[in-house]
Structure 1
Amino acid sequence: MAKTNAARTATRARGEAPGKRLPKAERREQLLETAEQIVREEGTEALTLGHLAERAGVSKPIAYEHFETRSGLLIALARQIDDRQVAALLEALKRTQKRLEDVARVVSAAYMHCCATVGPQWFAILAALKGDEQMDAVERELLDRYVTIYRDALAPCVQLSKRELHLRCVAIIGAAEALAAEMFRGRTDESAAAKVLESLIVQSLSKGG
């Protein structure tokens, strides 16, 4: 079957020769990048394995080989978006002094910046997979990962047991999610939400807090 104009355009934009075989990991990365572009430009409704294959300039079987189902594709995309944001957060924390106020500022700014930049795609993916048991498990897993990152980053700054700090970080992430939802609804902006989250973290974990 001949490639569509859109598929040929996508291939030329990547500088990839038609029919070129990529290593499996590189092909998966290319497909996920294309999927994210589709969600950003056309919405999750347009993201099917067939449309992904067309936009990426590959055959349908290749898309199915990598993701199996539309739900599998959306979940893989959610993981990739989250992995990218976590990597940026961890890199920022490496450059941050182990002081409560500094760590609180960095994690709060990173969380809200993530929501401001990829929030629309993230919430759209969640909406598209509402009720999907596998996605529910993945969402819990990703939230637990943020709790662990916050706990480990804040541990040197506070005098709390690991268990107590963990529970407070669960509450902090819950507050962050609520603030992100307010920002997504247009009721606050990134800077204000980050400042409120930073203040909550400092007050919650300060001595006697």
Structure 2
Amino acid sequence: MNDTPAKRLPKTQRREQLIETAMAIVREEGTDALTLGRLAERAGVSKPIAYEHFKTRSGLLIALYKELDARQVAALLHALERTKPRLEDVARVVSRAYMHCYLELGPQWHAISAALKGDEQMDAFQQELIDGYVALYCDAFAPLVRLSRKALRLRCVAIIGAGEALAREMLQGRVEESAATAALASLIVAWLAGAA
């Protein structure tokens, strides 16, 4: 427990502090230990402060999920900016980012997601995440292929489904990260190259 009283921070800094503290709780103790009360205690703030920022436990878990996702999207966009505009290169970068995300976030990401299964707010948020990645992939691949936006969107949905399946295999130790990355990149190229 943090016995030092929390100094007054601007709201955005306090939220960042609470997010980092919540991530530490999930990493060290698991999602079952993460409550708004436990967060407040560990961060050295009052419960009303934690409730003011996140409202509910679901709100807190979604905020954590958003933070982890935002970091991954920023890394992917940065990598794409430095990539040659060739289908094979973009496919490789997207695939590497997808698998690396799963490994880097590992148990935290999946524990947070699992803790919110069946939660209506989380279901809507997860669909929003998928839609965001589909749009990001469409934007990355559109200049490289001759497909309507609708046809490209469907293929990008399929890319995410394939990435999900390969990532599960990787996390279960059935395939190495490099093999999963190469498999996803080759699928992307095969699905999109004919339309290049």
| TM-score bracket, shorter-length normalisation | over 0.9
Asked if 2 retains the 8 angstrom alpha-carbon contact of 1:35 and 1:52, the reply is: yes
> What's the CA shift for 1:134?
0.6
Asked if 2 retains the 8 angstrom alpha-carbon contact of 1:96 and 1:103, the reply is: yes
TM-score for the superposition, normalised by structure 2: 0.95
2:173 is equivalent to residue 186 of structure 1 = yes
**Residue 37 (structure 1) aligned to one of 1, 24, 46:** 24
3-state SS, counterpart of residue 83 of structure 2: coil
| Code of the aligned partner of 1:152 | D
Write the deviation string for residues 50-109 of structure 1: whole angstroms up to 9, x where unpaired: 111111111111111101111110011111111110011111111111100010010100
Asked if 1 retains the 8 angstrom alpha-carbon contact of 2:23 and 2:64, the reply is: yes
2:46 corresponding residue in structure 1: 59
* Alpha-carbon separation, structure 1, partners of 2:155 and 2:95: 15
TM-score for the superposition, normalised by structure 1: 0.90
Asked if 2 retains the 8 angstrom alpha-carbon contact of 1:120 and 1:184, the reply is: no
Q: Within 5 Å, which residues of 2 pair with 1:156-195?
A: 156-195=143-182
Asked if 1 retains the 8 angstrom alpha-carbon contact of 2:26 and 2:108, the reply is: yes
* Alpha-carbon separation, structure 1, partners of 2:168 and 2:132: 19
* Alpha-carbon separation, structure 2, partners of 1:176 and 1:19: 42
Percent identity of equivalent pairs: 70
Q: Within 5 Å, which residues of 2 pair with 1:1-12?
A: 6-8=1-3
**Residue 69 (structure 2) aligned to one of 62, 82, 87:** 82
3-state SS, counterpart of residue 75 of structure 1: helix
Asked if 1 retains the 8 angstrom alpha-carbon contact of 2:6 and 2:43, the reply is: no
3-state SS, counterpart of residue 104 of structure 1: helix
* Alpha-carbon separation, structure 1, partners of 2:195 and 2:127: 30
Write the deviation string for residues 15-41 of structure 1: whole angstroms up to 9, x where unpaired: xxx431111011111101111111111
- Name structure 2 gaps, 5 residues minimum: none
* Alpha-carbon separation, structure 2, partners of 1:100 and 1:154: 7
**Moved segments of 4+, more than 3 Å:** none
- Name structure 1 gaps, 5 residues minimum: 1-5, 12-17
Write the deviation string for residues 113-140 of structure 1: whole angstroms up to 9, x where unpaired: 0000103111111111111011001001
**Residue 132 (structure 1) aligned to one of 114, 119, 129:** 119
